[in-house]
């Protein structure tokens, strides 16, 4: 089945902490590697922005499992489209935290695709979210 990319955002449960994020990532890396899903999970200002890429059916199943997770709420699918090739092939999942302490290079990247230099994906278009994460991936994998 054709490769697809899904982009969604959601809101963290109040009180979600670093150990919750660590557990989510440990589980994601293992589960995604088993089914050929790759992607990136950004977290800042209590908002998650995630890209999942892989087989359409598998990405669907993964998303629906994630959407039921009580560690976040109100998930909104921003985009679900066929793709020619993966963009995040190096990562079964990678967490990038984007709080107010991010380095200047990341702040500039946030500003490039937003109307302000604070992470606010709910104000961004799906294309801006994708380009933002694509450049973030390039920045982090070339570093
Ligand atoms: P288990 O880990 O055994 O979990 C069983 C059930 O308990 C699931 O319904 C799970 O949601 C829930 N659960 C487990 N721990 C907690 C907890 N501490 N608090 C509340 N509920 C809990 N999973 C992936 O496989 N790939 C991803 O890319 C991915 N991204 C995620 C992104 C976000 C923002 C969040 C919040 C979760 C993400 N997860 C991801 C985790 C996913 O929601 C499931 O928890 C996980 O896939 C279930 O793994 P499992 O079937 O081995 O069940």
User: Is the CB of 28 within 6 Å of ligand 1?
Assistant: yes
Q: How far apart are CA 10 and CA 17, in angstroms?
A: 16
Determine the atom of ligand 1 nearest the C-alpha atom of 67: 43
Tell me the CA–centroid distance for residue 134 and ligand 1, in Å: 25
pLDDT, tens only, 67-92: 999 999 999 999 999 999 999 999 99
Scored b (16 or more CB within 10 A) or e, 116-134 reads: ebbbbbeebebeebbebbe
User: Is the CB of 91 within 6 Å of ligand 1?
Assistant: no
Percentage of the chain lying above the pLDDT 70 cut: 99
37-41, 97-101, 107-111, 132-136: lowest mean pLDDT where? 97-101
Determine the atom of ligand 1 nearest the C-alpha atom of 52: 28
pLDDT, tens only, 26-72: 999 999 999 999 999 999 999 999 999 999 999 999 999 999 999 99
């Amino acid at each position: 089945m054709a490769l697809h990319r899904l982009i969604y955002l959601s809101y963290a449960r109040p009180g979600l902490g670093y150990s919750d994020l660590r557990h989510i990532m440990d589980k994601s890396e293992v589960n995604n590697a088993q089914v050929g899903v790759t992607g990136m999970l950004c977290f800042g200002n209590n908002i998650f922005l995630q890209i999942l890429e892989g087989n359409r059916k598998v990405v669907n199943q993964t998303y629906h499992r994630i959407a039921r997770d009580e560690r976040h709420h109100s998930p909104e699918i921003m985009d679900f489209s066929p793709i020619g090739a993966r963009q995040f092939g190096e990562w079964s999942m990678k967490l990038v935290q984007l709080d107010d302490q991010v380095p200047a290079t990341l702040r500039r990247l946030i500003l490039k695709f937003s109307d302000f230099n604070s992470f606010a994906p709910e104000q961004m278009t799906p294309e801006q979210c994708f380009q933002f994460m694509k450049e973030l991936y390039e920045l982090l994998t070339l570093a």
